[in-house]
Amino acid sequence: MATVTEVRAGRRWSMLGLGVFAQASSAVFVHGTPFLLPALTARGMSLPAAGLLVAMPTVGLVCTLIAWGYVVDRIGERKVLVGGPLVMFVAGAAAAVTTDDLALGALLFLGGAGAASTNGASGRVIVGWFPPERRGLAMGIRQTAQPLGVGVGALAVPAVAAAHGISTAILVPAIMAGVAAAGCYLGIVDPPRPEGKGVDRANPYRGDATLWRIHAVSVLLCVPQGVVWTFALLWLHRDIGWSLPAAGVLVTATQILGAFGRIGAGAWSDRVGSRLGPLRTVAVAAVLSMAALGLTAWTQWWWTAIPLLIAASVITVSDNGLAFTAVAEIAGPYWSGRGLGIQNTGQNLAIAAIPPVFGALITVGGFPAAYLAAAALATAAIPLVPTDSRNPR
């Protein structure tokens, strides 16, 4: 097996690009499917039924993240980055030709299960091939795959569905997944792992709460991120009075800025040689930005609300790459797949709970209450961030 020093920098970056593309194709499959709602309801399906149908990829994802992590730890990253996207491709192609809604839901669930494969595997490729002083930047770039995938889904899926039908729209992420599988088959090399059975194979969760604390921090910091992303459009339109197109442009711009924020946070962690120190700072900044946003929403100081919304949108997503890199480094080469699977599962469950829970809170107390509640939960994350006393592996 090749060692880190035997792989040229260009090859590392090409594997990063393949990992980003594979992760983006998963994001299109999981997060792009809800953009089929207009087409599904237009053909006569009730909104609750359509909502349940487009949620099936997310259900498949959450149910299999930890299992895929276990597979990554057992058989390596390359096989998973080929096999998972192939499952997406086959499930998407079959979904495109089925005429039965129950079968469609089952195939979307299967596609979501395949999509879960790329989360841990692509993260482990980065940590395995990039040296510690470049991992934060590389993981930050990898974390842009989700907003890129959401953007592709928002642009392509409803447009294709309107022009060519739902079946053709489902082929968009399926074809992307097929291309990702072929690319990973040709371009991914499993990173080296130590041969010993000692500390590297030991369960990092046993007798040490560090990883559990990072998982808890990430779940808590998901709340302000999810609140901003879920309700910003509605707040801009309903309370501030912006048109939906104008509000949509601003929300899209914040997604792009958030992607750059993830890259910047990763580069910062490389420069200071710490993941958890910057993670604590980002948690504090998330609390301050969300509290300030809640205050301006309550006082209706609209001239400061928009800059604060932009700032909060960038800050609240900047922790993702830091936490992912820390989990992979602390878990080690034989547990990072499962560690990242647990990390993703907790975050996705938190994100799934935000629309109904905070929707009810907004109904009762308005948007200021939602922003301040998100700030309070982020505050609880600050003391949970562990001390960064470990050397990256």
> 134 and 254, same structural domain?
no
Residues 176 and 249 in one domain: no
What pLDDT shows up at residue 195?
65
Range of the domain at 19: 1-192
Pick the last residue of a domain from 152, 167, 192: 192
Helices (H) and strands (E) in the chain, counts: 15, 0
Is residue 365 domain-shared with residue 231, that is, in the same domain? Answer: yes
User: Dihedral (C-alpha) 61, 62, 66, 68: value to the nearest 10 degrees?
Assistant: -10
Based on the domain organization, do 269 and 162 belong to the same domain?
no
Quote the CA–CA distance of 27 and 358 in Å, as a whole number: 24
Q: What are phi and psi of 43, to 5 degrees?
A: -90, 5
Residues 6+ apart with CB under 8 A from 197: none
The pLDDT > 70 percentage for the chain reads 95
- Do 164 and 279 fall within a single domain? no
In this structure, is residue 163 part of a structural domain? yes
- Could you tell me if residue 200 is inside a domain? no
Closest CA to 33 of 151, 135, 131, 153: 153
- Flag whether 197 is in a domain: no
Report for 145-159, 242-256, 365-379: range of highest mean pLDDT: 365-379
Output phi, psi for 185, to 5 deg: -60, -40
Structure tokens at 340: 């990242």
pLDDT band at 97 (very low <50, low <70, confident <90, very high): very high
> Residue 1: what pLDDT?
45
Which of the two residues, 195 and 390, has the higher pLDDT score?
Answer: 195
Q: How far apart are CA 201 and CA 382, in angstroms?
A: 30
Between CA 201 and CA 55 the distance in angstroms is 36
CATH of the domain at 384: 1.20.1250.20
How far is Cα 392 from Cα 328, in angstroms, rounded to an integer?
Answer: 9
* CA torsion through residues 174, 175, 178, 183, sign: negative
The number of folded domains in the chain is 2
Longest dimension (CA), the chain: 62
**Could you tell me if 65 and 156 lie in one domain?**
yes
Same domain, 7 and 114: yes
Q: Are 215 and 148 in contact (CB under 8 A)?
A: no
Mean pLDDT in the chain? 87
Looking at residue 386, the DSSP 8-state letter turns out to be P
Tens digits of per-residue pLDDT, 157-209? 888 888 899 999 999 999 999 999 999 999 999 988 766 555 557 888 988 89
pLDDT band at 240 (very low <50, low <70, confident <90, very high): confident
User: Distance between CA atoms of 270 and 263, rounded to whole angstroms?
Assistant: 11
Q: What is the pLDDT of residue 215?
A: 96
Q: Does residue 293 share a domain with residue 170?
A: no
Same domain membership, residue 264 and residue 164:
no
Q: Is residue 198 part of a domain?
A: no
Could you tell me if 177 and 228 lie in one domain? no
Confidence band, pLDDT 50/70/90 cuts, at residue 334: confident
pTM above 0.75, yes or no: yes
At 231, which helix (H) or strand (E)?
helix 210-238
Domain check: are 120 and 171 in the same one?
A: yes
- pLDDT tens, position by position, 259-308: 899 899 999 999 998 999 999 999 999 999 999 999 998 988 777 889 99
Q: Which of 192, 224, 254 is the last residue of a domain?
A: 192
Provide the token pair at 229. 């992303």
The answer to whether residue 157 sits within a structural domain is yes
Q: Tell me which of 133, 162, 192 is where a domain ends.
A: 192
**Amino acid at position 93, single letter:** A
Residue 73 lies in a domain: yes
Q: How confident is the model at residue 335 (pLDDT cuts 50, 70, 90)?
A: confident
What is the SS3 assignment for 142?
helix
The arithmetic mean of pLDDT across residues 342-350, rounded, is: 88
Q: Per the domain annotation, does 291 fall within a domain?
A: yes
Looking at the structure, tell me whether residues 18 and 162 fall in a common domain: yes
